[in-house]
């Protein structure tokens, strides 16, 4: 198999990273496109723009009659600053991180859906393997620990394990998944009625390992404090993020901003260099 960087560059050059989602009634809905993709000078990263256009009606105000009702109505298939965001991808084989900006209309879950759809559309059109690419949202373990400090009365834990990215970790769970031709393994742990799980145990903490690499999706339910009956944690809703400089509608500057943020993020993830003694 080719390296991840080669596949990504092939997809970027293909101009086939387009996917149209049908809306109700069979009419065209959102048209997702990943475009303007280019590698950095060092070849380690790729930047681009992901967005969707959709059928919209535009009404021009009629100044002569001072009326919206009498204004001219026109249909268009267009996008806006709310539906286009810059992204950056770490192309290094054992990294494969992705960073992206968000808008009110293009949140992490929406980005994941759109980016997955255009990648898989292009992969299928080009006949590449594998034919099903996934974008995993990442939640740092520190976020989970902080939530547990505030909500220790956990009575339910559901974890869904996926293959690692780039898929070379074949521990016992994943060997079992591969033997069964499964790409997911879900476990549910529930405390007895009125009881709670032992969140301080090593076994519980081990069950949370993998969210910071996108290999694990976790949902927890706990009894709340201060009159709150139930609280819920979902790792898909607590994605790692950071504040960046506002680039407004300047998407070219946006790609530079997101790339810089991704470089900083992955550098913090990398273990410190060690000196080997002779």
Residues 250 and 259 sit within 8 Å (Cβ to Cβ): no
Same domain, 147 and 223: yes
Closest CA to 39 of 259, 249, 262, 264: 259
For residue 238, what are the β-bridge partners?
none
Where residue 164 falls among pLDDT bands split at 50, 70, 90?
confident
| pLDDT at 150 > cutoff 60 | yes
The C-alpha atoms of residue 84 and residue 100 are separated, in whole angstroms, by 11
- Indicate the SS3 state at residue 56: strand
Which H or E run contains 117? helix 108-126
Where residue 166 falls among pLDDT bands split at 50, 70, 90?
low
Same domain, 43 and 159: no
Count of structural domains, the chain? 2
Rg (CA), the chain: 23
The percentage of the chain sitting over the pLDDT mark of 90, rounded to a whole number, equals 58
Give me the residue label for tokens 């499964």.
Answer: 182
Tell me, yes or no, whether 175 lies in a domain.
yes
The C-alpha atoms of residue 112 and residue 226 are separated, in whole angstroms, by 35
| pLDDT the model gives residue 274 | 46
| pLDDT at 19 > cutoff 80 | yes
CA 60 to chain CA mean position, Å:
37
For residue 79, the tally of other CB atoms under 10 A from its CB is: 16
The C-alpha atoms of residue 181 and residue 230 are separated, in whole angstroms, by 36
Where residue 168 falls among pLDDT bands split at 50, 70, 90?
low
Dihedral pair phi/psi, residue 213, rounded to 5° = -120, 5
Same domain, 230 and 245: no
State the pTM of this model.
0.82
The C-alpha atoms of residue 130 and residue 124 are separated, in whole angstroms, by 9
Tell me, yes or no, whether 278 lies in a domain.
no
Tell me, yes or no, whether 23 lies in a domain.
yes
Give every CB contact of residue 2 below 8 A, 6+ residues apart in sequence.
none
| pLDDT the model gives residue 163 | 84
The C-alpha atoms of residue 258 and residue 244 are separated, in whole angstroms, by 8
Same domain, 223 and 245: no
Same domain, 41 and 89: yes
Same domain, 17 and 126: yes
Q: Which two tokens stand for residue 95?
A: 């990294």
Tell me, yes or no, whether 275 lies in a domain.
no
pLDDT in tens, 199-247: 999 999 999 988 988 889 999 999 987 666 899 999 988 899 999 999 9
Same domain, 129 and 196: no
| pLDDT the model gives residue 134 | 86
Complete DSSP assignment for 238-260: S---------TT-HHHHHHHHHH
* Domain encompassing residue 164: 141-237
| pLDDT at 129 > cutoff 80 | no
Closest CA to 220 of 149, 148, 143: 148
Residues 155 and 223 sit within 8 Å (Cβ to Cβ): yes
């Amino acid at each position: 198999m080719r390296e991840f960087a080669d596949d990504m560059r092939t997809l970027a050059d293909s101009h086939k990273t387009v996917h149209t989602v049908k809306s109700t009634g069979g009419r065209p809905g959102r048209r997702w496109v990943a475009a303007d993709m280019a590698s950095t000078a060092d070849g380690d990263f790729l930047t681009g723009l992901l967005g969707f256009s959709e059928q919209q009606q535009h009404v021009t105000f009629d100044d002569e009659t001072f009326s919206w009702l009498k204004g001219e109505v026109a249909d268009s298939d267009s996008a806006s600053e709310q539906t286009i965001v810059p992204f950056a991808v770490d192309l290094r084989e054992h990294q494969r991180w992705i960073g992206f900006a968000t808008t009110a209309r293009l949140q992490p879950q929406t980005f994941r859906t759109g980016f997955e759809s255009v990648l898989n559309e292009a992969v299928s059109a080009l006949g590449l393997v594998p034919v099903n690419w996934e974008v995993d949202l990442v939640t740092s373990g520190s976020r989970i620990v902080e939530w547990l400090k505030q909500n220790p009365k956990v009575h339910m834990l559901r974890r869904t394990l996926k293959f690692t990215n780039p898929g070379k970790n074949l521990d016992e769970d994943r060997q079992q998944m591969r033997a069964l031709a499964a790409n997911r393994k879900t476990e549910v742990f529930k405390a007895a009625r009125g009881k709670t799980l032992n969140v301080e145990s090593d076994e519980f903490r081990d069950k949370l390992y993998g969210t910071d690499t996108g290999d694990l999706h976790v949902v927890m339910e706990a009894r709340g404090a201060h009159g709150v009956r139930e609280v819920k944690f979902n790792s898909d809703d607590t994605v790692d993020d950071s504040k960046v400089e506002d680039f407004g509608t300047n998407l070219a500057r946006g790609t530079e901003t997101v790339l810089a943020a991704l470089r900083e993020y992955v550098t913090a993830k990398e273990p410190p260099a060690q000196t080997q003694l002779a």
